[in-house]
Structure 1
Amino acid sequence: MNEVDERRRRWALALGTDAEGADGGPALTDSDRRMSDALTALYGYGDEAPKKGRGGLGGSAPRVAKWLGDIREFFPAPVVQVIQKDAFERKGLRQMLLEPEFLATVEADVNLIADLMALRGVMPEKTKETARIVIAKVVAQLMERLERRTADAIRGALDRSRRTNRPRFADIDWPRTIRANLRHYQAEHRTVVPERLIGFQRQQRRIVDLDEVILCVDQSGSMATSVVYASIFAAVMASLPVVATKLVCFDTSIVDLTAELADPVEVLFGVQLGGGTDINRAIAYCADRIERPAKAHLILISDLFEGGDAVALVDRLARLSLIGVNVIVLLALTDTGRPAYNPTLSATVAALGIPVFACTPDQFPDLMATALRRGDISGWAAEQDIKLIRSEA
């Protein structure tokens, strides 16, 4: 097919036309027609009503399942996820997620997990089992993507100011070791045989000296994706012996999921999205569970649309910061890193000297490593090209 014909074909698909050979162009193939039908079923023909026999997903789970199969055939997974999201919003298909046969055909991603969490309370038992399988699949994918990097960043608590001649292999300072053993160079083997190893000495940290990390997560509906990622990170950090991790989710009530962190799927099933927001109450709960302020890191993940006492919230955050708690506010923990948030309260909190910004899941491990070192969070954010919320003049 020449370039002109290909351009006409693409226009025909974009406009939803089934004209054969219009303007002298080639007729759409059967595959093209199926692709066009799949898109027309969701997006229609613009201002025209759908043609008979084409368009409309209807209310039938088998019909929607077939449609999902078609779009998966024609488009890559990221595009499928966008189309699914549009279908749920434009066609009101969320109720279809209550049918296990339909749920098993959906392309699973973080946004779908958020939908399933929101519907958990009205799911029949047979659907919950399918939902658990779908959630477990996405959690496994996220753990594979995020676990190693998070563990490496946080576990890298090496005291580089102290040296040892008996380092573990991973802690050997190779440049210094090679320089110290140059006299042992073996010309015939073209290598250095070190007699003395020089390396970094790991910090010996007793349980009572562990840093405390409390993830305090807003589970109102607008924060759904952030809840999923925060739960995954909490589960990863809870598996590391170098930090003591707690996970607290809240709306107007509070759910402490710390005891469930060994099973991130169970954590997500313990979250109940929706409802109002009482951030002040949640911060009070977390403050009561901080044992050593100088060793504590409180990560509040919220868009700061406070439904409770905003004045008391600001006062409570100020006092926590004053006694040595490392307080950080994340307005979102999402792949886009672009939050919708309360600008007034965000600026007020930023005026306390508390970093307020949004970040992506890929940035979060480095953020936590910087926080655990008590590093300059604002400087780190600037290096990452992250926009910090500024206090109002």
Structure 2
Amino acid sequence: MSQASPNDRHTLARWRLVLGKQAEAQGITCADDHTYQRIESIIGFLFGEGQGDPTGASGRGRSKDRQGGLGGGHPLTVPEWVDAVAELFPHQAKEVMEKELVSRRGIRELLDQPKLLEKIEPNIDLVKTLLTHKDLLNPKTRVLARKIIDQVVQQLKEKMKLQVETAITGAIRRDRHSPRKVYRNLDLKTTIRRNLKNYDHQSGKLFIDRAYYFAAERKKRPWHIIVAVDQSGSMLDSAIFSAVMASIFAELPSIRTSLFLFDTDIADLSDQVGQPVDVLLSVQLGGGTDITRALQYAHGLVREPARSIVVLITDFYEGRNERDLIHQTRQMAESGIRMIGLGALGYNARPEYNRQTARKLRKVGMDILVCTPEKLAECMGEIIRG
């Protein structure tokens, strides 16, 4: 192989894909060609044994040295497989391969038979499977799938809501004081702390020069939370939690919430932010990634930088020049916008993201987290309190 011409290596690699892995015994390989190795990984997922996870639920298989795609030699998940097929195959071939995936990975019955689907306990892994293959659902199963997704979303929302609301609303009530002396709005903690210098040790009394009061909530300018969700297959877990989080934000007083999905294009779903099921059914897995464009769009939504928080959910694998992303992040940070970049969001969040790029963004003003929804709310509460 080492003495073969580039054309010969190209031909041998194509024959290797046609003949299968056994061809390597005869010296017919993919010739260390990264593209052909990725194609082999995709084909092996369909026709090989023990490859990947048929539900796409495990989240395993992200190589630490991934270069904007799938490397060879590690297990694929269904969302990763979808990303790679969208990148390497034309649309018609992509449709054929996805149908073959459903047939060969043991979920055809699940998608075709509503009665079978009804027997399965609704859970986030099932939701991920349904979202990954939503275009292949028949009409009856589609109705049931929506019901299942809604059930899981409501369960997640109830689990998250109390702590998220407490963290955000508590911070909002305390991020500004008012000159109006209304007893029920007394900020006792701040009043005591700022008058400690007046404590008289002899009498054991604290003399108050000034009392501090919380501002009436309706008098205050709202905070604007902008949630930007990467549609790449590796981010499906985080997209589910992001949609639920955004719906909770939308119900809070003194919070204005914007939500959009992105790949190389932008899908603004702010008018659906209170309907997380509709948001999730709008997710289109696969395609390229333009994080810079997403931040530019978010920047355009900002009206008051000092009271705006951009929550970016992405794996930080940028499709364009990384310098553009760093420049855009710095520009937004310097304008006063607070930015949180999430490599993963969820209860079993796996930190599979481009750490090198994330570190560069942290240096120019973006907080980088991999956390639970409640931890994210606490972080946002700290930002609001200042």
Shared fold per TM-score greater than 0.5: yes
Which residue does the alignment assign to 1:123? 137
Aligned-residue CA RMSD (Å): 2.8
Give yes or no for contact 2:241–2:345 (8 Å, CA) kept in 1.
yes
Q: Structure 2: which amino acid aligns with 1:92?
A: R
Q: For 1:339 and 1:200, how far apart are their aligned partners in 2?
A: 42
Give yes or no for contact 2:339–2:365 (8 Å, CA) kept in 1.
no
Which of 111, 116, 126 is equivalent to 1:98?
111
Once the two structures are TM-superposed, the CA of residue 350 in structure 1 deviates from its matched residue by 1.8
Which residue does the alignment assign to 1:321? 333
Once the two structures are TM-superposed, the CA of residue 147 in structure 1 deviates from its matched residue by 1.2
Which residue does the alignment assign to 1:167? 184
Once the two structures are TM-superposed, the CA of residue 166 in structure 1 deviates from its matched residue by 3.5
Q: Taking structure 1 as the reference length, what is the TM-score of the superposition?
A: 0.61
Structure 2 residue 363 is the aligned partner of structure 1 residue 346: no
Which of 280, 287, 292 is equivalent to 2:292?
280
Q: For 1:142 and 1:222, how far apart are their aligned partners in 2?
A: 20
Which residue does the alignment assign to 1:201? 214
Q: How does 1:1-393 map to 2 (within 5 A)?
A: 92-99=105-112, 100-156=114-170, 157-159=172-174, 164-167=181-184, 200-206=213-219, 209-374=221-386
Give yes or no for contact 1:216–1:301 (8 Å, CA) kept in 2.
yes
Per-residue CA deviations over 1:224-273 (Å, capped at 9, x if unaligned) read 01000000010010111211111111122211111002222222212222
Equivalent residues, number = 263
Specify the SS of the correspondent of 1:355. Answer: strand
Per-residue CA deviations over 1:30-67 (Å, capped at 9, x if unaligned) read xxxxxxxxxxxxxxxxxxxxxxxxxxxxxxxxxxxxxx
Once the two structures are TM-superposed, the CA of residue 345 in structure 1 deviates from its matched residue by 1.1
Once the two structures are TM-superposed, the CA of residue 276 in structure 1 deviates from its matched residue by 2.1
Per-residue CA deviations over 1:312-352 (Å, capped at 9, x if unaligned) read 11111110001111011111102123311112211211221
Q: For 2:158 and 2:348, how far apart are their aligned partners in 1?
A: 20
Once the two structures are TM-superposed, the CA of residue 111 in structure 1 deviates from its matched residue by 2.4
Give the % identical residues: 32
Specify the SS of the correspondent of 2:370. Answer: strand
- Relative to structure 2, which stretch is displaced further, 358-367 or 234-243? 358-367
Give yes or no for contact 1:278–1:309 (8 Å, CA) kept in 2.
no
Per-residue CA deviations over 1:253-303 (Å, capped at 9, x if unaligned) read 211111002222222212222222111111111111111112111111111
Q: Taking structure 2 as the reference length, what is the TM-score of the superposition?
A: 0.62
Which residue does the alignment assign to 1:42? none
Give yes or no for contact 1:238–1:245 (8 Å, CA) kept in 2.
yes
Which structure carries more relative contact order (alpha carbon 8 Å, separation 6+)?
2
Which blocks of at least 5 consecutive residues in structure 2 are unaligned? 1-100, 193-210
Specify the SS of the correspondent of 1:328. Answer: strand
Q: For 2:108 and 2:226, how far apart are their aligned partners in 1?
A: 35
Which blocks of at least 5 consecutive residues in structure 1 are unaligned? 1-87, 178-197, 375-393
Q: For 1:322 and 1:96, how far apart are their aligned partners in 2?
A: 53
Runs of 4+ in structure 1 displaced over 6 angstroms? Answer: none
Specify the SS of the correspondent of 2:184. Answer: coil
Which residue does the alignment assign to 1:378? none
Q: For 1:252 and 1:348, how far apart are their aligned partners in 2?
A: 21
Per-residue CA deviations over 1:164-183 (Å, capped at 9, x if unaligned) read 44417xx7969x99xxxxxx
Q: For 2:138 and 2:247, how far apart are their aligned partners in 1?
A: 27
